[in-house]
Amino acid sequence: MTMPILRALGRADYEPTVSAMRAFTEARTPDTPDEIWLCEHPPVYTQGLAGKPEHLLDAHGIPVVQTSRGGQVTFHGPGQVVAYPLIDLKRLGIYVKEYVFRIEHAVIKTLDHFGVTGHRVAGAPGIYVRLADPFGHAALTGPRIDPFEGLGKIAALGIKVSRHSTYHGVALNVAMDLQPFGGINPCGYEGLRTVDLSTIGVQATWDEAAGVLAARLASGLSP
């Protein structure tokens, strides 16, 4: 078995991309090679299956799309690397929890490539950075009344699994207009700050960040 095929979609509208992922997943057989699609979307809010309307505060005219992934509301826009792994979990021999762990690990390794330390927060999928010291290596330890105190979210995760096959995926903020995140409670958390690599002082191009993330995902999702 080989590593997943990487496909660069460029700037792609959200809804046709989701439709194409669903069609790919429904048509695949046990012999269909896995793929990872990379793209960036025009500005759009997406509301997951568990999404509550009160977490969308003010769309400011940006389209809002109901979608089939898990989770709450998030924002996609230019300057954000969106990666959609289309993976046969049964063939890979892992379950959903391990799959989520591997995607988050790929993001952490991508951030490490740029000198940034990424953190997990228990019960809140995605990857976070310390706002005061994004390059420091101190772990998140000890009891925290507010699990997001001092943290900013730099990558959001939302997946769908159908017949052991995955679609939707992960979004890494590189250099984007962050203002639309102010129109929502990101991923359902009131007051959670969203950041990108540019905000924390890392000047990386979209292509560079996409290349690193794709390589880490492909490595982590290969047999």
Q: Which tokens belong to 192?
A: 């959670």
Host H or E run for residue 75? strand 73-76
**Residue 86 CA to chain centroid, in angstroms?**
14
Q: Which tokens belong to 92?
A: 């890979």
Helices (H), 28-95: 89-92
Among residues 187, 202, 209, 214, the one annotated as catalytic is 187
Q: Which tokens belong to 24?
A: 């790919």
d(CA 92, CA 190): 36
* Of 148, 183, 200, residue with least CA distance to 73: 183
Asked about 187 being catalytic, the answer comes back as yes
Q: b/e for 167-183, b at 16 or more Cβ within 10 A?
A: bbbbbbbbbbebebbeb
- Neighbouring CB atoms inside 10 A of 150's CB total 14
Number of residues that this document lists for the chain: 223
| Residues with active-site annotation | 187
